[in-house]
Chains A and B, each alone.
Chain A
Amino acid sequence: MRRRDEYTRFRLLDSAPRSAAEHMALDKIIMQTHSQGLIPNTLRFLQFRPCVLVGLHQNTFLEVNVPYCRQNGIEINRRITGGGSLYWGPMELGWEMYAAKDTPGIPRKIEALYRLLCEAVVLGLHSFGISAAYRPVNDIEAGGQKIAGTGGTELAGSFVFQCSVLVDFPVAEMMRALRFPLEKLRDKAVKTMSERVTSVKAQIGFVPPVEQLKAAILGGLRTKLGYDFFPEDLNELEVDRLTAELPYFQSDDWIYGRDERLVNTIDCTADYKAPGGLIRVQMRLDDALQVIKYVIISGDFFAYPARAVNDLETVLKNTPVSKERIRKKIMGFFADQEVEIPGVAAEDFVQAVLLAVERGIPQAQPV
């Protein structure tokens, strides 16, 4: 049996910015090598040149403005983990934890793992005076706006948890590089998105040195989990495997994927007139599975607290497009939260979302 410190002593990898393909290949290689018991538990910091990363099952052409990215030197690649598409600016900071599932303090349940590791990041962000908090299932928010996202995967007895912290996030550039189901008036679309994401700089007014940010994240992990981190490099085996794997991660087969495994999506919009104002719903639906991938709700109503709309959007992610499930989620949200929206009832949001679903999938069936 291994001693406790063999689990809680983490190798710390911290390389200069790499290409998206190198980082994605390393994700696979470190995961695989760890699952074979050939490397210790590892924490890795990541910085990228500007790039977009789609989730494992996403259709790159539906998610990414490929011509714009090609013209502007923005790399495109695919993650080995799930979830949606991401834009990475040069200032954003990622970190990943590769560890044995039986590492002390690591819960088996995925939701509990997300909570634990997100709360470690929250502690780190608190050290900068940012009022960050964990937002289930896998986000970290500040003032109701997303400041970090997470994801992960597992292989045999190992897992990887990934987290991206928005440091100085260029919302307008993200909206040029990715495809969103938003109105074509760019200024309004940027404003809509800016209300949903924030960054370290937006919160504290400046960009702290990246070494301070890394130290804060490590501090949060030490406090929350009691782990120790010791800088090292990739070992020879990992470097050899990177050389072998990199061509595939640079290939169109990987970046654009095999069609039969990819998810096709439908974008739809609806305007619904409630007594207290207009509700505009813009959403992306998964065509085959008939679930809401994400929804953006705006309009000329007033919500108290203002973050309530962002929280409702989060609740609706991955909801099947069934009238009953959508109604249950929205009504449950308003029953659980203290939200006031003069002239707009929970039922109005139900009707607005259902109208958008109907526009996207006229024959939507309950799952």
Chain B
Amino acid sequence: MENGQWDFPENLWYDEHYQWIRKEGDHVLFGLTHYGLEITGDILYLALPLAGDEVCRGDACGSLEAGKWVGRIYPPISGRVVRVNEEIARRPALIGQDPYECWFMELSPSRPLESKGFMTAAALRKWLEREGQDDA
């Protein structure tokens, strides 16, 4: 499928780990895009940090297992984990049904929230084209 056909809702932000990002007030929720799901395959297991943990932008803070592949979850900002989505941790198969409703965790930023490095849906499509990732 060409990346122009992927569903990247315009009201979300995106990062280079195929994750979507949603701002809610001062906080951020994030999850896996439909494209990320296609890259990885159906998610069987999800390991998330605990509420209260501190995470650092770009450093893996969890993992997801698809068959024999273990992928990583990368926080899009540095901060504190306010809550994790226990329902998704229990039933990762739900991500396959609607990835944009399945957030991994809510983060409270350690400094005033910036969108630096986040991409709009249009910017993500351009980035995927530049990266030559249409083969997914």
Q: Which residues on the A side are within 8 Å of B92 (C-beta)?
A: 289
B70 touches A110 (CB 8 A): no
What is the CB-to-nearest-CB distance from A31 to chain B, in angstroms, rounded to a whole number? 11
Interface size class of A (residues with CB under 8 A): 20 to 34
Contacts of B40 in A (CB 8 A): 110
Interface residues of A in 255-294 (CB under 8 A from B): 261, 263, 286, 288-289, 291
- Check A82 against B41 for contact (C-beta < 8 Å): no
Task: Write out, one digit per residue, whether chain A residues 146-177 have a CB within 8 A of any chain B CB (1) or not (0).
Answer: 00011111111000000000000000000000
Contacts of A138 in B (CB 8 A): 67-69
- Residue from A107, A110, A263 within 8 A of B66 (CB atoms): A110
A151, B41: Cα distance in complex, Å:
13
CB-based contact A154/B72 at 8 Å? yes
Partner of B68, one of A108, A150, A261: A150
Are the C-beta atoms of A153 and B69 separated by less than 8 Å? yes
Classify chain B's interface size.
20 to 34
Select B39's contact among A80, A108, A155, A289, beta carbons within 8 Å. A108
By the criterion CB–CB under 8 Å, are B67 and A137 in contact?
yes
Cβ proximity bits B66-96 to A, threshold 8 Å, 1 near / 0 not = 1111111000000000000000001111000
- Chain B residue at smallest Cβ distance from A81: B70
Residues of A within 8 Å of B42, CB to CB, are: 318
A108 and B135 within 8 A (CB): yes
Let me know if A56 is at the binding interface, CB within 8 A.
yes
Asked, given contacts A82-B68, A151-B69, whether A110 binds B90 with beta carbons under 8 Å apart, the answer is: no
- Most chain A CB within 10 A, of B63, B66, B90, is at B63
Q: Is A34 an interface residue (CB 8 A)?
A: no
Residues of B within 8 A of A111 (CB): 41
**Is A112 interfacial (CB-CB < 8 Å)?**
yes
CA distance A288 to B91 in the complex (A): 8
Q: By the criterion CB–CB under 8 Å, are B47 and A261 in contact? A: yes
Can you pick out 10 interface pairs between chain A and chain B where the beta carbons lie within 8 Å of each other?
Answer: A82-B45, A82-B65, A108-B39, A110-B66, A137-B41, A138-B68, A153-B71, A154-B69, A155-B60, A155-B72
